[in-house]
Every structure is written in C-alpha cells, then in structure tokens.
Structure 1
C-alpha cells in the first residue's frame, strides 16, 4: 500500500467536513487545514519531494493571501487551498488548481441561477442541523450571499486525487 493510498481517505474525509462546514456556517475551522497540512507533509516526505511541495504550498498561499486581501476569497478558503497544495505531487498542483476553478465555476453557475429568485419556499424553523442549514442556504441564495468556496476546493482536490 502506497502512502497516497493511506492519506487519500483521511484527506477526503477532512475536505468533505470542510465543505459541509462551509455550507452550514461559511467558515472552515482551522483544525481542518492544519490536519491536511500534516497529511500533505507526511505524503511529500514519503515521496521525496518535500521541498518542491513546500514551495508549491507557499506559492498558492501567497496568491491566496492576495485574493483574501482584495476580498476575493475568505481566509479559511485560502488556508484550505494552500494546505491542499501539499496533497498532489508538485507537478500536479496546477492541474488541481484548474479542477478547483472548474468546480468553482459550476458552483457559481448554480448560485447565479438562483440569486435573488424565490424558487424555493423558506422552510419552517427546523430543530436539526441539516434542516437549519437548508433553511439558511435558501435564505443566502435569495439575498445573494457569498459562495461556500470550500465546496469547490473539496470537489477539485477530490477530482485531482482520484485521477
């Protein structure tokens, strides 16, 4: 069993949790990118390209900080994106970023299709977390709230790791 076979399920679960948390609360807890960084560092060290992996992570983080500075991305998204740059081989980071951008485009199209419209009735207050999340998301769609870009990051990274 390769190191990637051991790391991929753990990274996938962490990314799915980040995406769900981003949808529910529009935040990504710091523990998730930290966990992904640890997995990525272990993976890059095991594959012998730690220095190149760290360089890729640093470059993605630097560009992400600029995006955060100009309010294009949230801080949690930037941290998660930089952490994820350690998961694929350094030569595949650009492919991962393209996959994330494509997933973000699909997510954007969905949100644009429903922005400001009222295709869904706001359900009554729910006692369960999923029910409250659905209610909040419908409200965000109606008012044109921000995208949960953690969903796009999760989708793009999972596509890259699967390929």
Structure 2
C-alpha cells in the first residue's frame, strides 16, 4: 500500500517537473531529490535496492557525458537518474525506450509550435498566453516532459494497467 502511495507522489512530482520544464525550461533540484527519495523507497519495497543503486552509479557517467556534450540539460540528467529506481531493473531498457519515444513526440510538438509561430506572429502571441504551449526558445525541447511520460507509462505497465 505504501509503495503505491510513493508511486503516486512521485507521479505527481513528475507531472510538476514536466510543467515547470514546459513553462520555464527548469527542473527543480528539490523535485528531483524528492523523486529520488520516493524511488528509493519503492525499490526497497520491491527488494531491489542494491541492484537499483548499482544501476544508478553505473549509468551516472553516461548521463554526465551527455550533459557535458550538451545533449541533455542538467535537470534532465538529474531527473533521469532519480527515476531509475522507480521501475524494476528488468524494465530499464523499456523505460529508456519509452522516454525516447515520448521525446520524439515532444520534439515534434515543439517543431510544429515553432513553425506555426514563425508563420503567424499573432498566432505566436496567442500561444504565449497559453501555459502549455509557451516556448522559451525554438531550439529548446522540454525533455522533462518526455521523461515524465516515459516513467508514467512504465509504472502504469508495472502495476498491470
């Protein structure tokens, strides 16, 4: 029961992080830290704590390198590392695949909004009044949204939904 409450709280924080990433292109450290604490609790409840922490430690240099080369933002890296213990270790590849597919969808949405806003400046002004479609830069993709979508898909799949 407590495991599902922790999953619900982590899901809420993931949605919050996605919204702040859309609006301000920022993922708060406190949200990532809380998600990590909740994911540790979930992995302990499953009995996979040690394996999950080894996975996080082994994956850290890979994501750090992606941050160094500006492929991912710092908030995205922290969020990905924080959510790894939320899913069973056997579903880790599936998690990354879900995040990647969601990332393609988010990037396409950003391209469409950018193209539409460049075609019509009045359309751009109306889009900026809508919180969900507010785009800070045409070259920026709120990848926190993709991370949240991928994790939510995997945790729902893990729960049998």
TM-score (norm 1): 0.85
Which range is displaced more, 114-123 or 18-27? 114-123
d(CA) in 1 for partners of 2:127, 2:43: 48
User: Residue 122 of structure 1: which of 125, 139, 146 is its match?
Assistant: 125
Unaligned runs of 5+ in 2: none
Moved over 6 A (4+): none
Q: Is the 8 A contact 1:22 1:150 kept in 2?
A: yes
1:41 aligns to 2:44 (yes or no): no
The 5 A counterparts of 1:58-97 are 58-97=57-96
What is the count of residue pairs matched by the alignment? 153
More helix by share: 2
Unaligned runs of 5+ in 1: 126-130
d(CA) in 2 for partners of 1:99, 1:135: 22
Q: Is the 8 A contact 1:53 1:85 kept in 2?
A: yes
Per-residue deviation, 1:136: 4.2
Which residue matches 1:128?
A: none
